[in-house]
Amino acid sequence: MSVTAEADRWLAALDGLYSVPDEHRVGFFDRAGAVDLLRCGEEVFDELVKAGLPFAEESDGERFDRFDLFNLALASRSGTSVPEKAIRYALRWMHGGPETWTARLDWTFHVTLECPLDACGDEPQWTHARMLPEAVGGELYSWRVEPEGARIVGDHLRHEGPGPLLFAGHVSTSGELMGLRSPTLRRIVDDFFAVGYRWVRLPEPLQWEYERLLAAGVSPCISASLFLKREFEKAGYPAFTRRGWLLGMLDLAHSWVEVTDDDGVVKPVDPIFTWLTGHADRPHPDLAAASIGSRMNRLLPAAMAADGLMATHLCGGRHVDPRRKTVIRRKSTQEGAAA
């Protein structure tokens, strides 16, 4: 493909980009890092900047928001950007049949929290939401925390004292194929899909403003969950949102909504899971529909709502966002070794 044609593809993607608003934008990537992530080449990237790709002018040059770059890459359909390749790799399991969506899977996990400040302040405190695999028929069957004194209290792992905080161990997940029986619930979900929202990744606080994002035609997972919860409850169905992880998907923090169906069973409804099949290579034709009402072994719930904070840190009398690294891998499998 010529440089001109390639530029036209990227410029068309930029034209439809929902840019992170100024109050939420963080200049995470410098110019070299942005070009390397997009893999579009210097000439095309120059055209993107001229056409309005947002950036902040810092002392060390242009700085680009990681969410803007990720969403631009997916919209480009170039097939060569790092986000596109990473998603295709992470979703390669989607070609498997229904038995692979419900079987017990075992995972190892390592979660670390660190203070982002050069020197952590006085009287540090830490929290992290408790994993809740039993909500999908799984189990947290071995775990350890560091340093000593960290403990699970209610729905959170808590620690008072110097960090970093480590939470590691083994967890299992499983699933169950179900579907929504209620015609009302199915209509609400169908109406949501009919609007044609686009899935994007955005900062968490921005996702809480779900009406703002839906009005713009985009729907990340937290926003979709909050909206559907409201619509289910307006129709008289008990519902709550859930936060957790989409396993295998780069250990992506994820949210969905759970609703009590006409048969009295609480069932997950996950439209983002459905949309992600569009980024997979040869997904099973029944997978998208199964994510509406089924428990899937690729979802690991946490004991928290979609608009909650997964981790918190207090030091020096003020709250700061901790640096959080989460690594979850299949246990003793070829896939886990490859990941």
pLDDT over 90 at 281, yes or no: no
pLDDT over 60 at 335, yes or no: no
Please give the average per-residue pLDDT across 107-118, as a whole number: 93
pLDDT-based confidence at 152, cuts 50/70/90? confident
Close Cβ partners of 5 (under 8 Å, ≥ 6 residues apart)? none
For residues 5 and 40, the answer to whether their CB atoms sit within 8 Å is no
The predicted model scores a pTM of 0.90
The top-scoring range by mean pLDDT among 50-59, 133-142, 228-237, 294-303 is: 228-237
pLDDT over 90 at 198, yes or no: yes
- Beta pairing partners, 330: 107
Crossing angle, helix 31-38 and helix 82-90, to 10 degrees? 50
pLDDT over 50 at 89, yes or no: yes
pLDDT-based confidence at 338, cuts 50/70/90? very low
| Residue 226: Cβ-neighbour burial (10 angstroms; 0-12, 13-18, 19+) | buried
Hey, where are the domains in the chain? 3-88, 91-339
pLDDT-based confidence at 202, cuts 50/70/90? very high
Count other Cβ atoms within 10 Å, centred on residue 48. 24
